[in-house]
Structure 1
Amino acid sequence: MAEQSSSRIFTGSRVLGYVSTHVPFVARYIKRRGETLLCTSVGKWFHTYGCEKFRLLTVSGEHPGPITCLSGDNYHVYTASENNIYAWRRGCELKHVYKGHNAPIHLLLPFAVHLISIDEDNVLKIFDIKDESEFLELIFEKKQFKITTLCHPPTYLNKILLGSQQGKLQLWNVRTSKLIHTFSKWNSAVTVLEPAPAVDVVAVALANGKIYLHNLRYDQTVVDFTHEWGKISCLSFRLDGVPMMVTGSTAGHIVMWDLEERRVLSQIQSAHSSRIAGLQCLMSEPLMVTNSQDNSLKLWIFDMPDGGARLLRIREGHSLPPTLVRHCEPTGENLLAAGSDRSLHIMNTITETFNKSMGKASYDRKKSKKKKRLQVDRFALPPIKKLSSCIQRDKQWDSIASIHENKALVTTWSFHKICMGDHKLKPEDLEKGTKATCLIVTHCGNFVIIGYSNGSVHRFNMQSGIHRGNYGSQEMPAHKGAVRGVETDLCNQRVITAGADDTLKFWYFKTATTPYRVIRLEETVSMTKCHRESSLLALANEDFSITLVDIDTISIVRKFEGHTGVINDIDFDSQSRWLISTAMDCTICTWDIPSAQLVDIFSVQRPCTSLSISPTGDFLATTHVGELGVFLWANRLLYEKIFLKPIDRNVVDIPVLRLPTTAPEKPDIEDIGVLDLGDEPEYKSPEQLSAELITLSNQSTSRWLNLLHLDVVKKRNKPKTPITVPKSAPFFLPTIPSLELEFDLDKEKNSSNDTKLLMPDELTTLTVFGKKLVDCDSEDSYRECIDKLKTFAPATIEVEVTSMAPDAGGSVEVMDKFLIMLNIMLTSNRDFELAQSYLSLFLKTHTKIISENEQLRKTLVSVEETVTRAWTKLENQLLYNICVVKTLKDM
């Protein structure tokens, strides 16, 4: 079997949920737009957001490695990746590449027409921005002066200030390459240098929490502050006339300092859940932007009574890798993603502007918000492990239910209100130490059924949260072991439970004392997935196999084997034709249910932890180990013609695909429209598989369906204004009536033929098709007429049939020939629907003439016998197939 080089069905589309990393952002005011643009790193790419509405504007090209630092000026955005620096215009156009460093770069500073960069080998280089040439190189000894930060003091021409890990500062003149002065008053590492709005003053933040406002001209400290909320990671001054300094810490807190009264003005506790990477106050506006490695970008406004800031806008994703993803709407536009950060997010596949965070799970949301300063939230719930949703009644009550790690408590969430619900579902008599293991929200959205580790199954009302009974009894629970899966059918008539006791039990939804059917399974079930519309239930087993059960007939119909690791998730497509599964062996498999074959398999670099295919079948969403985003894979069958064939996993080399990036991959222009079908040639169906089978034509229905109602169509499509005829035409050539422009060249061909007819051909009233039909004397010649007739438009076919009447310029002979042609079409069992449509039009138009002519009546009798035989054959085949299907369904 030929090797497989890529996935046959899925191709990488893009990733959702990436906003920011540990790299500080860049803010650039664009005068033409009248807006500040924010650039954040997301690994090998950087995003550009508009500050006005926080919309994602552009995504840069891919870098060879992760971006280590960002900077920008009025013209370019500068990014450092590995040992090179890249200059971008408009957020996506690469303009310059600066090479010369031998180590990764961690500091960048645009300096007029030059660019200053410092790498991890403590080498400072200055490049000319336009020429990409190296202007200056300075090498510092790490033991004496290891550079940690730098800045350019305003009004200091050609000078930069360097901070070191040894606690010293050096002022350099980059034009003359001379050290001007060394500041050595501190014994702690310098973490941040930021020029103050006052001339000659620079803020110096140290690793010991001290902040000094130092005057460079006189080498004196103006004022000092002590920061007690973690190490300072970033610092900025308000630039709208308010004497305020803002600092961000490694613990995620923000502190605002009053520079006139020299005290703490306000603070924002837990502004980010991780280290604040970048903080900057915008020019002439009471706004502040922060980003963090917790994958968030926030805009704050200073309008609080105490002079503090409040959150104005936010773009955020999961701060820890998501482990669960599910589609929650019939349109497939929104995803529910839950991760290790205890939060639940709504992600939109159309635009990330609609992404929302539903918050973190808590025993008491109000008390969690009122926790004391720097106090750990003791009301927080563990991460969500499983969830189920139904938005049928979403605007009336909660529509999502979730299970938390090692907890018996089940929480509810509201998709409409975008927040956690008020209900905490838990049976009163539940044993201590029991955990919830699985759940399902019914198709109507009124109930949630929960399975527990002690084998019990309970039902709750989603609207009120009231317990509505259990399946089994307290003495005899539903299963002897933990419940591994619970499902309901489309009409809420049955409940299906699978347990660790290797049994699959079927219960009536209302009378839940004993199951009405029990199936003993050969393998232990780890999870279940039901496709309610087709009544198919998939069981993921602990022996890495998948069993498919028909819940209508209560029988096992399929079994798929091929995974070599623990199955993490399974899902059906909307038409229940495919079953998609993923396991810890890093593979994602697509199984064709009707043929019971593996039709697609590919591997990823990191194991897939959860997957969900959209109800419309256009995207497959996956989450992966160690990745913060939700990855979308496009279904190629929606826009490409692909032939799927069975795959033998033991023979085919499994392709390893890279995960989708933040922007869709753009193919080369030469590759557009080329179908990669592998070594398998494209299958072309013959015109007729067998002469005994009745075959339809490949004509569209518009070519034959309305032949009997053309008068109605013409009346409806009649133009309101009369058609204007051109005054004169330079010349014209005789054409043949058809859908394509064809010239009538038969006259030129036959002009030299001798004829004994008294009336020349030019004076005959038969059409070109009628003449060709009269000349037919064999089946092949009739077949040529049939092919010609198939190219005509419906209106042209009507004209041809009407003109066959003797009083319209035709003759009985051409009408007889037309009936013979239809008889040949029906006898060959080809173009069945066309023959029926042409015959109906002919009988409707020439009923009176046929009834008066004996020759036409005889020919019509032959046609009638042929039609009867064809219809009898077709009816017998249809009835036979219906009987077979009904018999198989009743088995």
Structure 2
Amino acid sequence: MGIFEPYRAIGYITSGVPFSVQRLGTETFVTVTVGKAFQIYNCSKLNLVLIGPQLPKKIRALASYRDYTFVAYGTDIAVFKRAHQVANWSRHSAKVNLLLLFGDHILSVDADGNVFIWSFKGIEDNLAPIGHIKLDAKLTPTCIMHPDTYLNKVLIGSQEGPLQLWNISTKKKLYEFKGWNSGVCSCVSSPALDVIAVGCSDGTIHVHNIRYDEEVVTFKHSARGTVTALSFSTDGQPLLASGGSSGVISIWNLEKKRLQSVIREAHESSIISLHFFANEPVLMSSSADNSIKMWIFDTTDGDPRLLRFRSGHSAPPLCIRFYANGRHILSAGQDRAFRLFSTIQDQQSRELSQGHISKRAKKLRMKV
């Protein structure tokens, strides 16, 4: 143990791991990872409410349920109740890449295609998984989801292209969807029964009926790159949001089967996750550029506008100085941003440099 121990990272908002959103009473919280720790924000103002402890390795996946946060690091899964670790699950021999909250269970998937099923009733005593599924050797799992109303069933997408439907209580493979000759990068369930959306590495989005194995509609990103995140709106508007590796968010109208709007400069890097809030016209996005943004659909033309956001440097800071008796830190970095960070209250951190530039660029119809 050295003299200095990492306490917390300032200006680190989120890393390249999909966030987890959950509702507690009337409030909505989002859990994000920052390297070896996790942070929880309250979505009403995006203020930081909890910082988890530092783990031995970088977090690779997370899931949350009420007061519990489940984080996968290396081959282990740590279970936290608020900020205190209550259990450590270690059964995997390969790195754990995916976690899925499934009723009273957590499903963990590793790089070798092992799926373990964990129960979190009496977490402190249940340190062994209650079930195990071994996927086909020729499949590399990339995403896992539970289609709504499908009892005990999960759908697993693969890098090779096919998707498989498994029953986790009988541990049998029920069906294989042959896919679209392109790796599956993301999949989500839609508000319509039996319908899911699948994002592929060739930039296509397939809205698919899994009951009849029929295509409903296909969309294609104009920008090159993979479809990294998807989310359906649940507030009555027939919308599907998709994010790609180029940092652009596209909004598709499912009734008219066409592109409704594009948020071009949404993020400076690949979109990691998208989430429409339940019954609200609000979309949340996170990206590898170290930012979380919330977009609201309240304009007459149906275009989303930025509601609130939290961001830090998207490239390494080069010059850092203490300011105001150490209560603040000033920093400038390779991302052409000049920022002020509060060491006491996270909400006071802000960017000082680029505020009006983007507005002026929009007015003059020029690139920033």
Instruction: Tell me whether the two structures share a fold, i.e. TM-score over 0.5.
Output: yes
Structure 2 residue 38 is the aligned partner of structure 1 residue 52:
no
Deviations 1:379-412 (A, max 9, x none): 6xxxxxxxxxxxxxxxxxxxxxxxxxxxxxxxxx
Count of residues in Structure 1 that have an aligned counterpart in Structure 2: 363
1:172, distance to aligned residue in structure 2 (A):
0.8
1:238 is matched with which residue: 233, 242, 266? 233
| Equivalent residue, structure 1, for 2:189 | 195
| Equivalent residue, structure 1, for 2:156 | 162
Distance in 2 separating the partners of 1:260 and 1:366: 33
Contact 2:117/2:132 (8 A) holds in 1: yes
Distance in 2 separating the partners of 1:65 and 1:305: 47
| Equivalent residue, structure 1, for 2:141 | 147
Distance in 2 separating the partners of 1:294 and 1:277: 10
Distance 1:157 1:341, change over 3 A: same
Deviations 1:817-838 (A, max 9, x none): xxxxxxxxxxxxxxxxxxxxxx
Contact 1:20/1:40 (8 A) holds in 2: yes
Distance in 1 separating the partners of 2:243 and 2:201: 13
Distance in 1 separating the partners of 2:362 and 2:267: 14
TM-score (norm 1): 0.39
| Equivalent residue, structure 1, for 2:72 | 80
1:305, distance to aligned residue in structure 2 (A):
2.1
Distance in 2 separating the partners of 1:94 and 1:198: 38
Contact 2:147/2:154 (8 A) holds in 1: yes
1:134, distance to aligned residue in structure 2 (A):
1.5
1:224 is matched with which residue: 204, 218, 228? 218
Distance in 2 separating the partners of 1:36 and 1:257: 25
Structure 2 residue 54 is the aligned partner of structure 1 residue 62:
yes
1:361, distance to aligned residue in structure 2 (A):
9.8
Structure 2 residue 119 is the aligned partner of structure 1 residue 125:
no
Higher relative contact order (CA 8 A, sep 6+): 2
Distance 1:179 1:6, change over 3 A: closer
Contact 2:271/2:288 (8 A) holds in 1: yes
Contact 1:251/1:270 (8 A) holds in 2: no
SS in 2 for 1:248: strand
Distance 1:340 1:175, change over 3 A: same
Compare CA radii of gyration and give the structure with the larger one: 1
Contact 1:148/1:190 (8 A) holds in 2: yes
Distance 1:311 1:199, change over 3 A: same
Distance in 1 separating the partners of 2:7 and 2:64: 29
SS in 2 for 1:353: helix
Distance 1:154 1:6, change over 3 A: closer
1:123, distance to aligned residue in structure 2 (A):
1.4
Contact 2:31/2:64 (8 A) holds in 1: no
Contact 1:266/1:306 (8 A) holds in 2: no
Distance 1:226 1:361, change over 3 A: same
| Equivalent residue, structure 1, for 2:88 | 97
Deviations 1:201-234 (A, max 9, x none): 0111111111111111111111111112232110
Distance in 2 separating the partners of 1:23 and 1:238: 22
Distance 1:211 1:14, change over 3 A: closer
1:74, distance to aligned residue in structure 2 (A):
3.5
How does 1:458-537 map onto structure 2 within 5 Å? none
Distance in 1 separating the partners of 2:8 and 2:53: 13
Distance 1:353 1:367, change over 3 A: closer
Q: Which amino acid aligns with 1:322?
A: P
Distance in 2 separating the partners of 1:93 and 1:119: 25
SS in 2 for 1:16: coil
| Equivalent residue, structure 2, for 1:204 | 198
Higher alpha-carbon deviation: 62-71 or 119-128: 119-128
1:139, distance to aligned residue in structure 2 (A):
2.2
1:312, distance to aligned residue in structure 2 (A):
1.1
1:93, distance to aligned residue in structure 2 (A):
2.2
Distance in 2 separating the partners of 1:333 and 1:16: 12
Structure 2 residue 239 is the aligned partner of structure 1 residue 248:
no
Distance in 1 separating the partners of 2:351 and 2:206: 38
Distance in 2 separating the partners of 1:75 and 1:176: 30
Q: Which amino acid aligns with 1:51?
A: C
TM-score (norm 2): 0.93
Structure 2 residue 103 is the aligned partner of structure 1 residue 108:
no
Contact 1:80/1:105 (8 A) holds in 2: yes
Deviations 1:353-400 (A, max 9, x none): 1000123499x766544576xx9x4x6xxxxxxxxxxxxxxxxxxxxx
Contact 1:342/1:361 (8 A) holds in 2: no
Alpha-carbon RMSD across the aligned residues, in angstroms, is 2.1
1:81, distance to aligned residue in structure 2 (A):
0.6
Distance in 2 separating the partners of 1:365 and 1:138: 50
Distance in 1 separating the partners of 2:283 and 2:20: 12
Distance 1:11 1:250, change over 3 A: closer
Contact 1:265/1:306 (8 A) holds in 2: no
How does 1:773-788 map onto structure 2 within 5 Å? none
| Equivalent residue, structure 1, for 2:15 | 21
